Chain A
Amino acid sequence: MDLSAINPVLLVASLMVAATPLLLAAVGELVVEKAGVLNLGVEGMMIVGAISGFAISVETGSPLVGLVAAMIGGAVLSLLFAFLTQVALANQVASGLALTLFGLGLSALMGQSYVGIKPPAMARLDIPVLSDLPVIGPILFSHDPVLYIGIALTAGVWALLKYSRAGLILRAVGESHDAAHALGYNVIRVRVLAIMFGGACAGLGGAYISLIRVPQWTEGMTAGIGWIALALVVFASWKPWRVLLGAYLFGGINVLQLNLQAAGIAIPVEYLAMSPYLITILVLVIMSADKSRAPASLGRTFHASQ
């Protein structure tokens, strides 16, 4: 065992990278849940985003085009969920599960000819001078642009929900779809848009894994990150900044356990690998005492009758 091989600066820098897909997916799901919809298909949308982004950037040679394609892929898949739950009024839990099962299959099918290929590399955003600073440089100023987009997205969602009229309407729809309908707001339209936003975010998060973090394509490579993102929204009590905090926490745990694996610590690899999932359970237990922040209409089906 050699713990000295773990460099704290690199650790922090890489935990930010590990946290980013989680952050993107969770912020998207937060918006969806704020609108009163529980989409359990995050894992499916992420993996479809991962392969869409991967395939398109391999074909076009441009990671940027790939990322956009991943967002479109995730959003298109989420439209299936939107159709099931908002138009066909299907149960949200069942529909979300269906989305995940379908997404896992679809991604495996799409990705058959992309196994073992290296995608075009994403340029880092090396800011002159700043990124050369010791310690702070590698931690704060020499990442890929998507990582910063994730943080900006968190800030944007926070501001939107707190200060804008659109955010107020979104929250109102999530609190009571009947009241929002009575006041003349189009509940379904608001929810479909929120679901698509969630899908795009999850898709981007998935592509971040396949294009930047790993970067290659393997079947089922999201490995439950979509589910952890769902747990993260609960952990964060539906607050954007706490999603960021939670994502970094999980990113940290994940990077740490990988580093411990590499350092050859005496704990078997499998037990280290299960730690993120166990910690997710632990966090859920701690946070589930307080349910009061959950949007009141969460998971309920809306049908404007009479």
Chain B
Amino acid sequence: MISLEKRPMPSRTLSMATPIIAVIITMIAGGLLFVVLGKNPFEAIRTIFWDPLLGEYAFYYRPQLLVKAAPLVLIAIGLSLGFKAGIWNIGAEGQYIIGALCGAGVGLAFYPTESILIFPAMILAGALGGWAWAMIPALLKVKFGTNEILVSLMLVYVAEQLLASMSLGLLKNPEGMGFPGSRNLNDYPSANSWINEAAGLHWGMAFAFIAVIFAYVLLNRHILGFNIRLTGEAPRAARFSGVNPTRLILFCLGTSGALAGLAGLFEVSGPSGQVSIDFNIGYGFTAIIVAFLGRLHPVGILLAGLLMALTYIGGEIAQGNLGLPSAAIQVFQGMLLFFLLALDLLTNFRIRFAARGTA
């Protein structure tokens, strides 16, 4: 007879341990998956988790880690604020695209003028674009009580169509000989986000770190962060405490939108370089996993972002070396979220296997 017994208080130890346990179980389950796919599980796991960090060509992959982690962390930090308050922005992918379009648009509008002011203007435009796109579900929720999950998600599909339209139309490279996609911003010194391209450092990483610190201070030291947590844990108590739900919704969705927009801008003006139909590769959705894996905690998200970046890079290596399909990594990431959610139970409940008897 297994029974669940609610703990008087959530266990802090387990709350930190469960993500690690989830990663280990995912490696085991993932290993089984690789066996089913006819690959050597140990080799596959080593290729994904070891080679990019400490393998022979690690010097090449390590900078990649930050390149991939930065957008994930930036987006996930924003999402985590809303998730904590029970406000579900799952359309970060759309805000990411719009941020990239706005930011790149501003940059391309000035081409080929060189000025130190162009890149800051692009940053502003990227953040504003993402913010505005997130304000659509926010305002609809505030004014009409519309479900923000569905609206923000629908807007991803709309943003993807806009992206297609832009990269085939307005933002298309006039010298691109008919190929879709914009000019490459890497060839436009005033409008690219690299601090040092050879070392793989761009401004998005700096912003991701700032976002982590900002979120940490907000959640732990500021009354607004307290109100965010309170709203998520007990909405009626929050209202009684004097939290204005409208302002909280606008803040959480707006912030996550702006951060997603920034992530898009840094990506399009750096690692990706140009607006093209498929420059976005699902960071907005993977960031949801990152936010949960980091337990909605800023430092946790930083670590989770790095881990998830590792699976991306490791996945690419495994794809090249072992012929592991890229979808396998997607499955792997999904499994991770599953195990994490299932193990969450342990932080709030004790499992008793004892047969009937006095406690």
Please tell me whether chains A and B touch each other in their complex, using a CB distance cut-off of 8 A.
yes
The answer to the question of A90 belonging to the interface, with a C-beta cut-off of 8 Å to chain B, is yes
Q: Per a CB cutoff under 8 Å, which of B4, B90, B146, B325 touches A89?
A: B4
Residues on A lying within 8 angstroms of B by beta carbon are 40, 80, 83-84, 88-91, 93-95, 97-98, 101-106, 108-109, 112, 219, 223-224, 227-228, 230-231, 234, 268, 270-271, 273-274, 277-278, 280-281, 284-285, 288-289, 291, 303, 305
Mask, B137-168, CB within 8 Å of A = 1, is 00010001111011101110110011011001
Task: Tell me whether A278 and B341 are in contact (CB under 8 A).
Answer: no
Asked whether, in the complex, the Cβ of B145 is within 8 Å of the Cβ of A289, the reply is yes
Chain A residues lying within 8 Å of B146, measured Cβ to Cβ, are 281, 284-285, 288
State whether A284 and B289 are in contact (beta carbons under 8 Å apart), knowing that A88-B341, A274-B162 are contacts in the complex. Answer: no
Determine whether the beta carbon of A109 is less than 8 Å from that of B331. Answer: yes
B96 within 8 A of A: no
Provide the bound-state CA to CA distance between A93 and B86, in Å.
Answer: 10
Report 29 cross-chain contacts, Cβ distance below 8 Å, ordered by A residue. A83-B342, A88-B342, A88-B343, A89-B345, A93-B88, A93-B149, A97-B337, A101-B289, A101-B330, A102-B334, A102-B338, A105-B330, A106-B334, A108-B326, A108-B330, A109-B330, A109-B331, A219-B327, A223-B157, A224-B153, A227-B150, A231-B147, A231-B154, A234-B147, A271-B161, A277-B158, A278-B154, A281-B151, A303-B4
Q: SS class of chain A's interface: helix, strand, loop or mixed? A: helix
Decide if B334 touches A112 in the complex (CB within 8 Å): no
CB nearest to A43 among chain B residues = B153
Q: Please name all residues of chain A whose beta carbon is closer than 8 Å to the beta carbon of B341 when the two chains form the complex.
A: 84, 88, 90-91, 94-95, 98
CA distance A40 to B150 in the complex (A): 9
Q: Are A105 and B157 also in contact (CB < 8 A) when A268-B169, A281-B151, A303-B4 are?
A: no
The reply to whether A97 and B90 form a contact with Cβ atoms under 8 Å apart is: yes
Q: Which residues of A contact B37 (CB under 8 A)?
A: 109
With a CB–CB cut-off of 8 A, which chain B residues contact A108? 325-327, 330
Q: State how many angstroms separate the Cβ of A40 from the closest Cβ of chain B.
A: 7
- Give chain A residues whose Cβ lies under 8 Å from the Cβ of B4: 89, 303
CB-defined contacts of B349 to chain A, threshold 8 Å: 89
Q: Which one of B155, B341, B348, B349 has the greatest number of beta carbons of chain A within 10 Å?
A: B341
**Distance between Cα atoms of A217 and B4 in the complex (Å):** 43
Contacts of A285 in B (CB 8 A): 140, 144, 146
A105-B154 contact in complex given A88-B345, A91-B341, A291-B145, C-beta closer than 8 Å: no
What are the residues of chain B within 8 A of A102 when measuring CB–CB?
A: 331, 334-335, 337-338
A288 to B146, CA, bound (A): 5
* Set B155, B162, B329: member contacting A270, Cβ < 8 A: B162
A227 lies within 8 A of B154 (CB): yes
Q: Could you tell me the distance between the alpha carbons of A25 and B216 in the complex, rounded to whole angstroms?
A: 41
Question: Which residues from A are CB-within-8-Å of B164?
Answer: 270
A40 cross-chain contacts in B, Cβ below 8 A: 149
Q: Which residues of A contact B161 (CB under 8 A)?
A: 270-271, 273-274
On B, residues with C-beta under 8 Å from A are 4, 6, 37, 88, 90, 136, 140, 144-147, 149-151, 153-155, 157-158, 161-162, 164-165, 168-169, 285, 288-289, 292, 325-335, 337-338, 341-345, 348-349
Asked whether A90 lies within 8 Å of B342 as measured between CB atoms, the reply is yes
Nearest A residue to B345, CB-CB: A88
Which of B158, B162, B169, B331 is in CB contact (< 8 Å) with A105?
B331
Evaluate contact between B344 and A88: CB separation under 8 angstroms: yes
Contact partner of A277 among B140, B157, B288, CB < 8 A? B157
Tell me if A80 and B157 are in contact (CB < 8 A).
Answer: no
CB distance from A281 to the nearest CB of B (A): 5
Give 5 A-B pairs besides A98-B289, A101-B289, A289-B145 with Cβ atoms closer than 8 angstroms.
Answer: A97-B337, A105-B327, A105-B329, A270-B162, A274-B161
Contact between B325 and A281, CB atoms less than 8 A apart: no
Determine if A281 and B334 form an interchain contact, defined as CB atoms under 8 angstroms apart. no
Whether A98 lies near B334 (C-beta < 8 A) is: yes
- A288, B144: Cβ atoms closer than 8 Å: yes
CA distance A224 to B149 in the complex (A): 13
State the Cβ distance, B176 to closest chain A Cβ, in Å: 18
Please name the residue on chain A nearest to B148 by beta carbon: A284
Q: B158 contacts which of A101, A219, A231, A274 (Cβ < 8 Å)?
A: A274
Nearest CB of A to B252, in Å? 15
Tell me which residues across on chain B come within 8 A of A291, comparing CB atoms. 145
- Residues of A near B345 (CB, < 8 A) are 88-90
Bound complex: CA of A98 vs CA of B335, how far in Å? 8
| Complex Cα gap A89–B288 (Å) | 19
| Centre residue among A83, A281, A303 by max chain B CB count within 10 A | A281
Compute how far the CA of A105 lies from the CA of B311 in the bound complex, rounded to whole angstroms.
14
* 7 closest Cβ pairs, A-B complex: A105-B330, A102-B334, A108-B327, A270-B165, A109-B327, A105-B331, A274-B161
Report B-chain residues with C-beta under 8 Å of the C-beta of A234.
147, 150
Q: How far is the CB of A77 from chain B (nearest CB, A)?
A: 11
Is the CB–CB distance between A101 and B157 below 8 Å? Answer: no
